[in-house]
Amino acid sequence: MKILTAVLAAFPLFAQVTHQRLLEAQAKEPGNWLTYSGNFSGHRYSPLTQINDTNAARLKPAWVYQTNSLQKFETTPLVADGIMYLSEPPSNVTALDPRTGRPLWRYRRTLPGDLRVCCGQVNRGVALLGDLVYVGTLDSYLVALDAHTGAVRWETKVAEYTGGYSITVAPLAVKDKIVVGVAGGEYGVRGLLDAYDAKTGKRAWRFWTIPGPGEPGNETWAGDSWKSGAAGTWVTGAYDPETNLVYWGTGNPGPDWNGEVRKGDNLYSDCIIAVDADTGKLKWYFQFTPHDIHDWDATEVPVLIDGEVRGQKRKLVIFPNRNAFYYVLDRASGQFLLGKPYAKQTWATGLDDNGRPIRVPGTTPTLEGVQVWPSVAGANNWYSPSYSPKNGLLYIAVREGGGVYFIGEAVFKEGQRFDGGGFRSIPGGQDDGAIRAFKPATGEVVWEHKLFSPPFSGVLSTAGNIVFGGTNEGQFFALQGTTGKLLWKFQAGGISRSNPMSYLVDGKQQIAMAIGNALWAFEVQ
Amino acid sequence: MELPSTSANPHTTPADIEQGRKLYGGRCAGCHGPTGDGGKGANLAQPQLPRAMDDLSLYRVVRYGIPDTEMPATLLAPREVWQICAFVRSLGRLASSGPTGDARNGESIVRGKGGCLACHSIGTEGGRSGPSLLTVGSRRSPGHLRAKLTDPGADVPENYRWVELTAKDGKKAVGPRLNEDTWSIQLLDGSGRLLSYWKKDLASLKSERKTPMPSYQGKLTTSEINDAVTYLSTLRGIQ
Please tell me the distance from the alpha carbon of residue A102 to that of residue A170, in angstroms, as a whole number: 23
User: What's the mean pLDDT when you consider all of chain B?
Assistant: 88
Residue B3 lies in a domain: no
Task: Name which of A166, A367, A400, A452 to mutate to probe chain B: the one with the most chain B Cβ atoms within 10 A of its Cβ.
Answer: A452
What's the total number of domains in chain A?
1
Binned at pLDDT 50, 70 and 90, residue B217 comes out as very high
Q: Is B76 in contact with A422 (Cβ distance < 8 A)?
A: yes
Query: What is the phi/psi pair of residue A446, to 5°?
Result: -95, -45
Binned at pLDDT 50, 70 and 90, residue B215 comes out as very high
Order of all β-strands in the sheet with A192-197: A172-174, A177-181, A192-197, A203-208
pTM equals 0.89
pLDDT on residue B4: 77
- Chain B residues near residue A119 by CB distance under 8 angstroms: 75
pLDDT of A2 over the 70 cut: no
3-state secondary structure A282-308: EEEEEECCCCCCCCCCCCCCCEEEEEE
pLDDT on residue B229: 95
The domain of B166 spans: 162-208
Nearest to A245, CA basis, from A397, A8, A41, A470: A41
| Mean pLDDT calculated for residue range B24-34 | 83
pLDDT on residue A428: 78
Residue A60: beta bridge partners?
A: A523
Same domain, B36 and B140: no
Same domain, B217 and B134: yes
Same domain, B85 and B122: no
pLDDT of A1 over the 60 cut: no
pLDDT on residue A6: 47
B26 vs A70, A406, A425: nearest CB: A406
Same domain, B193 and B138: no
Please tell me the distance from the alpha carbon of residue B67 to that of residue B141, in angstroms, as a whole number: 20
What's the total number of domains in chain B?
3
Burial of B118 (0-12, 13-18, 19+ CB in 10 A): exposed
pLDDT on residue B69: 80
Q: Which residues contact A390 (CB under 8 A, 6 or more apart)?
A: A463, A465, A481
Please tell me the distance from the alpha carbon of residue B14 to that of residue B89, in angstroms, as a whole number: 12
pLDDT on residue A7: 46
Active site residue A53: no
What CATH number corresponds to the domain at position B229? Answer: 1.10.760.10
pLDDT on residue B75: 72
pLDDT on residue B79: 86
Binned at pLDDT 50, 70 and 90, residue A182 comes out as very high
Is B183 an 8 Å CB contact of chain A? Answer: yes
Task: Name which of B181, B197, B210 to mutate to probe chain A: the one with the most chain A Cβ atoms within 10 A of its Cβ.
Answer: B181
pLDDT on residue A391: 98
Same domain, B198 and B222: no
Percent of chain B with pLDDT over 90: 53
pLDDT on residue A429: 79
pLDDT of B46 over the 80 cut: no
Binned at pLDDT 50, 70 and 90, residue A12 comes out as low
Handedness of CA B29, B34, B36, B41 (dihedral sign): negative
pLDDT of B150 over the 70 cut: yes
Q: At CA A238, angle to CA A232 and CA A239, rounded to 5? A: 125
User: What's the mean pLDDT when you consider all of chain A?
Assistant: 95
Q: Is B77 in contact with A417 (Cβ distance < 8 A)?
A: yes
Q: Is B182 in contact with A473 (Cβ distance < 8 A)?
A: yes
What CATH number corresponds to the domain at position B168? Answer: 2.30.30.100
Same domain, B196 and B217: no
pLDDT in tens, A294-327: 999 999 999 999 999 999 999 999 999 999 999 9
Is B34 an 8 Å CB contact of chain A? Answer: no
pLDDT of B59 over the 50 cut: yes
How far B27 CA sits from the closest chain A CA (Å)? Answer: 8
B183 vs A186, A367, A489: nearest CB: A489
Q: How far is CA A363 from CA A167, A237, A256, A346, A357, in A?
A: 32, 30, 14, 8, 13
pLDDT in tens, A464-475: 999 999 999 999
- Chain B residues near residue A474 by CB distance under 8 angstroms: 181
pLDDT on residue A10: 56
pLDDT on residue A151: 96
Please tell me the distance from the alpha carbon of residue B62 to that of residue A112, in angstroms, as a whole number: 24
pLDDT of B26 over the 80 cut: no
pLDDT of A222 over the 60 cut: yes
The domain of A270 spans: 2-524
pLDDT on residue A482: 98
Enumerate long-range contacts of B176-184, CB under 8 Å, 24 or more apart: B176/B129, B177/B207, B180/A452, B180/A473, B180/B207, B181/A452, B181/A471, B181/A473, B181/A474, B181/A475, B182/A450, B182/A451, B182/A452, B182/A471, B182/A473, B182/A475, B182/A477, B183/A475, B183/A486, B183/A489
pLDDT of A249 over the 80 cut: yes
Same domain, B129 and B59: no
pLDDT of A193 over the 60 cut: yes
C-beta of residue A238 within 8 angstroms of C-beta of residue A37: yes
Q: What is the ipTM of this complex?
A: 0.83
Percent of chain A with pLDDT over 70: 98
pLDDT on residue A454: 97
Binned at pLDDT 50, 70 and 90, residue B171 comes out as very high
First to last CA, chain A: 34
What CATH number corresponds to the domain at position A458? Answer: 2.140.10.10
pLDDT on residue A208: 98
Is B236 an 8 Å CB contact of chain A? Answer: no
pLDDT on residue B31: 84
Max alpha carbon distance in chain A (Å)?
Answer: 76
Same domain, B126 and B221: yes
Q: For chain A, percent helix, then strand, then coil, each to nearest 5? A: 5, 40, 50
Q: How far is CA A178 from CA A102, A197, A318, A457, in A?
A: 28, 7, 24, 25
Binned at pLDDT 50, 70 and 90, residue B2 comes out as low
Same domain, B77 and B188: no
pLDDT in tens, B61-107: 999 888 878 888 887 778 889 999 999 988 877 545 578 899 999 99
B209 vs A70, A408, A428: nearest CB: A428
- Chain A residues near residue B30 by CB distance under 8 angstroms: 427
pLDDT in tens, A359-415: 999 999 998 889 999 999 999 999 999 999 999 999 999 999 999 999 988 999 999
Q: Which residues of A330-362 are buried (b: 16+ CB within 10 A; e: fewer)?
A: bbbebebbbbebbbbbebbeebeeebbbeeeee
C-beta of residue B114 within 8 angstroms of C-beta of residue B227: no
C-beta of residue A95 within 8 angstroms of C-beta of residue A150: yes
pLDDT of A8 over the 70 cut: no
Same domain, B220 and B113: yes
Q: Is B158 in contact with A428 (Cβ distance < 8 A)?
A: yes
For residue B169, the tally of other CB atoms under 10 A from its CB is 8
Q: Is A367 in contact with B26 (Cβ distance < 8 A)?
A: yes
Nearest to A289, CA basis, from A205, A374, A368: A374
Question: Which residues between 118 and 157 in chain B have a beta carbon less than 8 angstroms from any beta carbon of chain A?
Answer: none
Nearest residue of A to residue B1 by CA position? Answer: A71
Q: How far is CA B110 from CA A184, A409, A462, B6, B230, in A?
A: 54, 47, 61, 45, 11
Is A478 an 8 Å CB contact of chain B? Answer: no
C-beta of residue A232 within 8 angstroms of C-beta of residue A250: yes
pLDDT of A3 over the 80 cut: no
pLDDT in tens, A329-363: 999 999 999 999 999 999 999 999 999 999 999 99
Residue B40, helix vs strand vs coil: coil
DSSP strand pairing (A303-309 vs B194-198) = unpaired
C-beta of residue A509 within 8 angstroms of C-beta of residue A523: yes
Same domain, B19 and B84: yes
Per DSSP, the residues of A131-159 read TEEEEE-TTSEEEEEETTT--EEEEEE-S
Same domain, B152 and B169: no
Q: Which of A476-480, B28-32, B186-190, B223-227 has the lowest mean pLDDT?
A: B28-32
